[in-house]
Structure 1
Amino acid sequence: MNLVSIRVITDDVTRLVEFYERATGVRASRPTEDFAELRTASGTLAIGSTRTVPLFAPGSAAPADNRSVIIEFLVDDVDSVHRQLTGFVADFVKEPTTMPWGNRALLVRDPDGNLVNFFTPVTPEAIEKFAAYAR
């Protein structure tokens, strides 16, 4: 089994796409106005409009209502991502910090309030752990 994607439901696909494109440097594909995908080597972040929810199960998902999931991106330089988002992101939850497990991490909220963690392994152990994901 492989995790292929995570889908975020939103009332404003364009707003979220703009945030994630800026934050990741990955260009989204937009097959329709109600759906976008940001594809990386290890998985896809899908962004769907609330208008797509009834296609799956009416009432099963609500936008801007998450308080339990953190979307995480391995990046080459977390401090660079922080500089890139300064003035664009309204909610820096935690400025770049080196965590006890060896990652330098930046925690923000996307425009819908979802937590997003950008991290760069900095200790030898963390670098080794994520070596398979290196670009």
Structure 2
Amino acid sequence: MPVLRYTPDFAELQTPTATLAIGSTGTLQFLGGNSVAEPLQNRSAIIEFRVENVDWDYERLADFLQPYIVQHPTIMPWGNKSLLFRDPDGNLVNLFTPVMPEAIKKFESKE
């Protein structure tokens, strides 16, 4: 399968049902700094889910997620609005909604 390389620090392997995104440590600055993903600590992967409205999901889950939030809903440079939190096992989870035109267009072609 072809790999789409968007920048020197970020690439995606896209399948019909899932996308594996691979980013260098340089991308960590956008996700809260170098400590957000750490090797050998069960902190080297991010589980991502595209949701219809990340702000709505944040409001719905905020009381439960409060102690686990890494980053409140924030528009990322690549056009997604992301909410980052840790699950009970410490895995980083990203709920995101494409909000900028280029990000919306990218996901429209996958529907």
What's the TM-score bracket when you normalise by the shorter of the two chains? 0.5 to 0.7
* Equivalences, count: 74
Tell me the TM-score normalized by structure 1.
Answer: 0.50
Runs of 4+ in 1 over 6 A off after TM superposition: none
Could you report, residue by residue, the CA deviation over 1:86-115 in whole angstroms, capped at 9, with x for unpaired residues? 111221100000111111110011111100
Could you report, residue by residue, the CA deviation over 1:1-53 in whole angstroms, capped at 9, with x for unpaired residues? 6xxxxxxxxxxxxxxxxxxxxxxxxxxxxxxxxxxxxxxx935xxxxxxxxxx
Q: CA deviation at 1:133?
A: 4.0
Tell me the TM-score normalized by structure 2.
Answer: 0.60
- Residue number in structure 1 paired with 2:100: 123
Structure 2, unpaired ranges of 5+: 2-15, 19-40
Aligned residue identity for 1:101: W
C-alpha RMSD of matched pairs (Å): 1.7
- Residue number in structure 1 paired with 2:64: 88
Could you say what secondary structure the match of 1:129 adopts? helix
Q: Which has the larger radius of gyration?
A: 1
Could you say what secondary structure the match of 2:96 adopts? strand
Structure 1, unpaired ranges of 5+: 2-40, 44-64
Structure-to-structure mapping, 1:68-107, within 5 angstroms = 68-89=44-65, 90-107=67-84
